[in-house]
Amino acid sequence: MNQLKATLLQAATEAGDIIRSYFHGSFAVSNKEGINNLVTEVDMLCEAKIIEIIQRNFPDHTIISEEEGSEEHHSEYKWIIDPIDGTVNFAHHIPICCVSIGLSYQDNMLLGVVYNPMMNELFFAERGKGAYLNDVRIQVSDKTDFRKACLVTGFPYKWPHENEHPIKVFERFILQGLPVRRLGSAAIDLCWVACGRFDGFWEYNLNPWDIAAGYLIVEEAGGRISNFDGEHYSVFDKQTLATNGHIHEEMIQLIKNKP
């Protein structure tokens, strides 16, 4: 376990160093599917560095990464990587972006790290051993009054038209008079729920690399994470609801538009 943890932290911090070194400079930006679904040369540099470090230590482990896809070795260990979560922020020199790396064993999240080098915030969790921000243990908020909750969400680039549009759901929260923020990084959103800055987060159509590390960090900080029906959560789900646990049911009711 010590080598797994050391590899995880080394990969995150070295990728974070790359982000920091390019943040105030110039770099190439291109589009993936959709005009605002961006990827930069720095994403690729960070991803290459992370994969290099993992493969040097664990060459037989499976890697799932946003830019390069999956490298399957039929291992029970899977590294789930987002080299820069919040690429649009990074491309516009907005310092809300991070490296996110989760490690699962037999499809259960084992370790997770989310590192925002621009704010010098490193969130880390190990299954059964709590969640930490810069080596200080964190926990979710203790707020029980939903009317006073501070929330965060995000919006997908594409939305299946057969389902209710996220803007309609967002509107219901706003009409309750609740403050809702939109930061542009699901990994940071989850970590900020974990450390009590936000009381709840919801988003549609996220990918495993967006949430793998943050999922474990929320759980280890005492929070609750589920789909929009309140059911057991998988990082491959397309509905993500994370809260301090106290306001979970109220959020489900608004998301599902239940009286």
User: If one looks up domain 146-256 in CATH, what number appears?
Assistant: 3.40.190.80
Instruction: Kindly tell me if the per-residue pLDDT of 67 is higher than 80.
Output: no
What does each C-alpha distance from 92 to 15, 38, 40, 117, 184 come to in angstroms? 19, 11, 11, 16, 12
- pLDDT tens for each residue of 229-239: 999 888 888 89
CA 123 to CA 212: how far, in whole Å? 13
Domain boundaries, the chain: 2-138, 146-256
Least-confidence region, from 48-52, 111-115, 150-154, 234-238: 234-238
For 2-138, CATH number out of 3.30.540.10, 3.40.50.300, 3.40.1410.10, 3.40.50.2000 equals 3.30.540.10
Q: Please, which residues have CB within 8 angstroms of residue 52's CB and are 6 or more apart in sequence?
A: none
Q: Give residue 164's pLDDT.
A: 76
> Is residue 25 over pLDDT 90?
no
Contacts of 164 (CB under 8 A, 6+ apart): 257
**To the nearest whole percent, how much of the chain has pLDDT over 90?**
78
Q: Parallel, antiparallel, or unpaired for β 77-85 and 69-71?
A: unpaired
Overall pTM > 0.75: yes
The tens digit of pLDDT for each residue in 124-183 reads: 999 999 999 999 999 999 999 999 999 999 988 776 565 678 889 999 999 999 999 999
Q: What is the mean pLDDT of residues 28-51?
A: 81
pLDDT at residue 45 above 80? yes
